[in-house]
């Protein structure tokens, strides 16, 4: 009968710095209570970490400083363990695609199910819910890219999907100025036809918001691809929904952008 320590070494040799409880039970033939005791011992020794029930990370010496490896190395097997599709998006995806202003202090994952975020070591994971029917349309392989690590690949939003995700969930993407910066940094890389096709999946107000920010950043072709969506707008929407006027009567005096059917209720500032 193999030991848990030996099993961990075997996993690392195979390039897998993770395992599930069931996999260990099948491989070792231990009684469940004995495996639980062995796992608890190694967690105390900081050789294992436990991001989700029944799923464990094997910590190399260099991982122990931060308490866990970079989530890109284990998010794919974790989500497969939970049986949930996903994509890395927002700030981490923006940084991956070259928005150097995004420090990405949080690892953000979009999923079609309500999941609680968690912290493990120095890493903070945040799960953003997207309605299943929208997620199914947006999470197609043609809109995704792959984020590579030494442990394999993880799904990440492509440039166009990252831009639309940020416009939709701007409160999770460093606010309107954060999204404006991302639009400036990445907008020129977006394929206008892909952007327009994918935008059909998203809320009209989010598409118009992104179009305005792309135009502001002088990404003319990409902004123009989103102009047809304005004809579907039923009312003016605030550029930043989180900003409310101190006095309700002042709302009518806010600058209106008729081209994008937006109330410009917040000044946009980006770095050069």
pTM value > 0.85: yes
88 and 203 housed in the same domain: yes
Whether 135 is covered by a domain: the verdict is yes
Phi, psi of 218 (to 5 degrees): 65, 30
93 and 217 housed in the same domain: yes
Whether 197 is covered by a domain: the verdict is yes
pLDDT of the chain, 272 residues: tens digit per residue: 468 999 999 999 998 999 999 999 999 989 999 999 999 999 999 999 999 999 999 999 999 888 999 999 999 999 999 999 999 999 999 999 999 765 667 999 999 999 999 999 999 999 999 999 999 999 999 999 999 887 789 999 999 999 999 999 999 999 999 999 999 999 999 999 999 999 999 999 999 999 999 999 999 999 999 999 999 999 999 999 988 765 454 455 578 999 999 999 988 988 86
Which structural domain, as residue segments, surrounds residue 57?
4-69
57 and 173 housed in the same domain: no
189 and 130 housed in the same domain: yes
62 and 82 housed in the same domain: no
Contact 77, 129 (CB under 8 A): no
What's the rounded Cα separation, in Å, for the pair 76 and 214?
32
Report which of 78, 88, 141 is spatially closest to residue 111, judged by C-alpha positions.
Answer: 88
Query: The tokens of 38 are what?
Result: 């062995």
Whether 248 is covered by a domain: the verdict is no
Query: The tokens of 221 are what?
Result: 């072709």
Last residue of a domain, one of 52, 69, 86: 69
167 and 220 housed in the same domain: yes
The confidence score (pLDDT) of residue 170 equals 95
123 and 10 housed in the same domain: no
Whether 271 is covered by a domain: the verdict is no
121 and 50 housed in the same domain: no
40 and 149 housed in the same domain: no
Last residue of a domain, one of 48, 69, 90: 69
Give the count of domains, the chain: 2
Whether 147 is covered by a domain: the verdict is yes
57 and 115 housed in the same domain: no
Whether 270 is covered by a domain: the verdict is no
The confidence score (pLDDT) of residue 104 equals 67
Nearest-10 Cα torsion for 56, 62, 66, 71: -50
Q: What is the SS3 string spanning the chain?
A: CCCHHHHHHHHHHCCCCEEEHHHHHHHHCCCHHHHHHHHHHHHHCCCEEEEECCEEEECCHHHCCCCCCCHHHCHHHHHHHHCCCCEECHHHHHHHHCCCCCCCCCEEEEECCCCCCEEECCEEEEEEECCHHHHHHHCCHHHEEEEEECCEEEEEECHHHHHHHHHHCHHHCCHHHHHHHHHHHHHHHCCHHHHHHHHCCCCHHHHHHHHHHHHHCCCHHHHHHHHHHHHHCCCCEECCCCCCCCCHHHHHHCEEECCCCEEECCCCCCCC
Last residue of a domain, one of 69, 85, 112: 69
Whether 38 is covered by a domain: the verdict is yes
Report which of 248, 252, 272 is spatially closest to residue 263, judged by C-alpha positions.
Answer: 252
52 and 83 housed in the same domain: no
Whether 272 is covered by a domain: the verdict is no
CATH code (residue 19): 1.10.10
16 and 87 housed in the same domain: no
What's the rounded Cα separation, in Å, for the pair 97 and 117?
24
């Amino acid at each position: 009968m193999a030991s848990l320590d030996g099993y961990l070494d075997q996993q690392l040799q195979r390039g897998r710095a993770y395992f599930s409880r069931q996999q260990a039970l099948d491989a070792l033939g231990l009684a469940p209570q004995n495996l639980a005791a062995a796992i608890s011992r190694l967690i105390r020794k900081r050789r294992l970490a436990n991001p989700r029930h029944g799923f464990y990370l094997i910590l190399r010496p260099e991982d122990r400083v931060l308490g866990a490896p970079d989530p890109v190395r284990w998010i794919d097997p974790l989500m497969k363990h939970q049986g949930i599709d996903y994509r890395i998006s927002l700030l981490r995806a923006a940084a991956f695609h070259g928005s150097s202003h995004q420090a990405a202090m949080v690892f953000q994952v979009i999923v079609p199910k309500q999941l609680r975020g968690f912290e493990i070591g120095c890493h903070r994971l945040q799960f953003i819910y997207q309605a299943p029917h929208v997620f199914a349309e947006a999470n197609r392989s043609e809109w995704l890219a792959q984020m590579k690590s030494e442990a394999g690949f993880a799904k990440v939003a492509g440039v166009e999907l990252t831009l639309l995700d940020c416009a939709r969930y701007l409160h999770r993407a460093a606010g309107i100025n954060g999204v404006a910066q991302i639009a400036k940094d990445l907008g020129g890389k977006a394929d206008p036809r892909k952007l327009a096709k994918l935008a059909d999946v998203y809320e009209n107000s989010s598409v118009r918001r992104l179009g305005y920010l792309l135009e502001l950043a002088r990404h003319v072709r990409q902004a123009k691809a989103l102009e047809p969506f304005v004809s579907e707008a039923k009312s003016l929407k605030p550029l930043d929904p989180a900003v409310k006027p101190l006095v309700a009567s002042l709302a009518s005096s806010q600058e209106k952008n008729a081209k994008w059917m937006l109330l410009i209720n917040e000044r946009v500032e980006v770095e050069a």
